[in-house]
Amino acid sequence: MKIWKEKIERRGKVVTVHYADFTCARMRHRIQADTKTELDETIEAIKGRARREKYGLYVQETIVTLGELVDARP
């Protein structure tokens, strides 16, 4: 896992942006966050999801389409 930070210019201001590049569950993840805490939380969420999928604890996320929402509307 590689974690680094860079100073970049956004709208005339210099800000620090944190990056992470790592592989988890045979997938490569590249993450960008404004704070180190936000970056750590995102990394832990990705790793937790991979652990749940590995042990069969992951609950399938349901995707609701716009058509289904229109049909469900009273």
Per-residue pLDDT of 7-57, as tens digits, reads: 999 899 999 999 999 999 999 999 999 999 999 999 999 999 899 888 888
What's CA 34's distance to the chain center, in Å? 13
In sequence order, which ranges of 1-74 are alpha helices (DSSP H)? 36-54, 66-72
How many domains in the chain?
1
So what's the pLDDT on residue 2? 96
> Comparing 16 with 74, which gets the higher pLDDT?
16
Q: Amino acid identity, residue 4?
A: W
Q: Amino acid identity, residue 66?
A: L
Domain of 49, in residue numbers:
2-72
